[in-house]
Structure 1
Amino acid sequence: MISIGIPIYNAEDYLEDAIKSVLAQSFKNFELILIDDGSTDNSLAIAKSFNDPRIRIYTDGTNKKLPFRLNQIIQLAKYDYIARMDADDLMDVDRLKKQFEYLKNNPGIDLVTTGMYSIGKHNEILGKRIPNNKMMTASEILGGITNLLHASMLARKEWCLRNPYRVDNALAEDYELWLSAAIKKDLKYNVIQEPLYYYREVENVKIEKMIKGYNTQIEVINHSSDGVISDHDRKKIIRKFQVKKIIVKILNAIKLMSILQKHRVAKISEDDLNRYTQNMDYIQQVGK
């Protein structure tokens, strides 16, 4: 069975559909752990409106940030497989089935991620991204480019327990997770090259979040690169992140941040549109 964890913070605009996409899964043997991180909107009420015995809701009224809640999900999980999902995203109805089957059939692999469709504020499909399927090394991850979509991860619980999140890193927690595991030679994964996750990327292409994320990545590079890459390469990578910050600031100043979102994804085909539409129709039929 699978423990699915969704941390929630002020996600009232999207949470209902996110939960519906979980309940619509063709894989039925799961628990859904919803952890509210001190939301001040209607998120908790939306979570409580679903009547399904597989749903467990936790709230303590405080805002402890994403890494703390992700570690909490690992501790609360009853089962040997843990799935990630963000509260503003959706997933293909066969996501869990395909990931679970892969891990069951490949005992040497600890986690599996997927490709994704990029979606907008009104669930409209904007593009897709299908990463290459290869295991990244620590030096490659330090360069800032990975093929791992954190929110689509299904991992063995024992791997999660070996690789907890650093609680004071709330903006590049996935980057540091992959890097620290790779440095320990504990990053054995596969990428299913299908768009099984629907990522609301428009919510992440924002100036404040991107700049803070780049700054956090630079901090991680500075304290994690010793013995992995040379000092020359470290400085080169940091310069690349500094350039990215400048580009983001310029695009924001001229009100063209949407270019970044479009640059990140490929165009969709008619088959993509049909697949997405069929999935969304099925998800919207889920009752409470």
Structure 2
Amino acid sequence: MNPKISVIFPVGNREAYLKEAVESVLGQSFTEFELLIIEDGLSSQVASIITCYRDERIKIIKFPMNMGISAARNAGLLTATAPYIALMDSDDIALTDRFQKQYAWMESHPEVTVCGSNFITMFNDENRMPMRYPESDGIIKSRFLIVDSAILNPTAMIRTDFVRKSGLQYDANFPRDHDHRFYVEIMRNGGSFYNLQEELLLYRRHDGNATRSRSGVDIEKTKVREILIPLFFPELTGEEARVLLKGLCENVRMTMIEACFCLVVMTKAMRESRIFTGEDRDELRKILRFYYESLVKMVNGVSKNVHKC
């Protein structure tokens, strides 16, 4: 069989949702794929769930010890033999026509590097919320600046040749935000993005999600923004970029002088009209305007307190 899609499916020691996730892939209406299950230092109990499947499309890659999610995904990138890579997590559910619809879109739109989709967030079996992500390339790229509303990793389908030619890998220095970092590198290498405007995945939120573990996440988000700011706003000086970065971070304390300087820098950034990486400048202005207005409220609040004293 010459698969048309390589499904990268890392598995850690979490068995609660594994069977449902595997079967959602094996039950796809599009059948011409290989399922690359990367066993990342599994216990015998979790490994036994995987070995019970007898499907020739399954290929198992075993790590003798836990190497981390980035290493697992990179093993999948290196092993993939199909022209498209589909990403999947071991606690989510791919809806039946996900691969069929994404494959058809990618085949008819050769200019698109990454195709994601909308999805449904599951907080528990009864509580579900449809989530809509931006459709166009420029808005998706601009949304990388706010991290969490651009491309959902387990909805993504990516062109394998683009990854190989660009020498892309997941960065192990970003264990919680590795996907965000990866997509920024795709953007830097000239890639384009699209989100199908229909729900193709049930995305499970629970205490075990990497992105739910807040310690370290904000640090990694800040590091990604540190890469993005000179890409989107190359006219800023080093000091201006540093202050803007601080202004975009949540729960970061600023002095009154820093806050006022940051407002000046944000105004300068919002005036930029040139396009550098395919970003949507209007969307970037909306994002900056949100942080600008929040900072103005903070400055005004401090000023009122000073006058009261």
Same fold (TM over 0.5): yes
Cα 1:31/1:205, change in 2 over 3 Å: closer
**Which structure 2 residues correspond to residues 152-191 of structure 1 after superposition, within 5 A?**
152-161=155-164, 162=166, 163-184=168-189, 186-191=190-195
* Residue 108 (structure 2) aligns with: 105
* Residue 220 (structure 2) aligns with: 216
> How far is the alpha carbon of 1:160 from its aligned partner?
2.3
Partner Cα separation in structure 1 for residue 163 and residue 211 of structure 2: 31
Higher relative contact order (CA 8 A, sep 6+): 1
- Structure 2 contact 70–178 (Cα < 8 Å) conserved: yes
> How far is the alpha carbon of 1:243 from its aligned partner?
2.3
Cα 1:110/1:39, change in 2 over 3 Å: same
> How far is the alpha carbon of 1:152 from its aligned partner?
0.8
> How far is the alpha carbon of 1:165 from its aligned partner?
1.4
Cα 1:206/1:32, change in 2 over 3 Å: closer
TM-score (ref. length: structure 1): 0.77
* Residue 282 (structure 1) aligns with: none
* Residue 246 (structure 2) aligns with: 238
- Structure 1 contact 142–179 (Cα < 8 Å) conserved: no
2:121 to 118, 123, 126: 118
Is 1:194 aligned with 2:198? yes
* Number of aligned residues: 243
* Residue 129 (structure 2) aligns with: 127
> How far is the alpha carbon of 1:60 from its aligned partner?
2.3
* Residue 8 (structure 1) aligns with: 11
> How far is the alpha carbon of 1:207 from its aligned partner?
8.7
Deviations 1:5-57 (A, max 9, x none): 11011120010000110111000111111011113362211111111111111
Pair member with larger Rg: 2
Partner Cα separation in structure 1 for residue 36 and residue 130 of structure 2: 28
> How far is the alpha carbon of 1:82 from its aligned partner?
0.7
Cα 1:171/1:136, change in 2 over 3 Å: farther
Cα 1:149/1:53, change in 2 over 3 Å: same
* Residue 144 (structure 2) aligns with: 141
Question: Structure 2, unaligned stretches of length 5 or more?
Answer: 254-309
Is 1:225 aligned with 2:209? no
- Structure 2 contact 177–211 (Cα < 8 Å) conserved: no
Deviations 1:166-204 (A, max 9, x none): 1222111111112222233x2212100111011012346
Partner Cα separation in structure 2 for residue 110 and residue 207 of structure 1: 25
- Structure 2 contact 143–150 (Cα < 8 Å) conserved: no
> How far is the alpha carbon of 1:115 from its aligned partner?
0.6
- The amino acid that maps onto 1:189 is F
Partner SS, residue 17 of structure 1 = helix
* Residue 255 (structure 1) aligns with: none
Deviations 1:253-285 (A, max 9, x none): xxxxxxxxxxxxxxxxxxxxxxxxxxxxxxxxx
Partner SS, residue 11 of structure 1 = coil
Which region of structure 1 is more displaced relative to structure 2, 156-165 or 68-77? 156-165
Question: Structure 1, unaligned stretches of length 5 or more?
Answer: 246-288
- The amino acid that maps onto 2:175 is A
Partner SS, residue 7 of structure 2 = strand
Residue identity (%): 22
* Residue 82 (structure 1) aligns with: 85
Partner SS, residue 179 of structure 1 = helix
Partner Cα separation in structure 2 for residue 223 and residue 127 of structure 1: 32
TM-score (ref. length: structure 2): 0.72
Which region of structure 1 is more displaced relative to structure 2, 27-36 or 208-217? 208-217
Deviations 1:139-183 (A, max 9, x none): 542343542111111111012222321122211111111222223
* Residue 66 (structure 2) aligns with: 63
Partner Cα separation in structure 1 for residue 15 and residue 209 of structure 2: 19
What is the alpha-carbon root mean square deviation over aligned residues?
A: 2.4
- The amino acid that maps onto 1:238 is K
Cα 1:114/1:227, change in 2 over 3 Å: closer
Partner Cα separation in structure 2 for residue 153 and residue 178 of structure 1: 10
Partner SS, residue 129 of structure 2 = strand
- Structure 1 contact 99–112 (Cα < 8 Å) conserved: yes
> How far is the alpha carbon of 1:67 from its aligned partner?
1.1
2:55 to 52, 55, 58: 52
- The amino acid that maps onto 1:174 is D
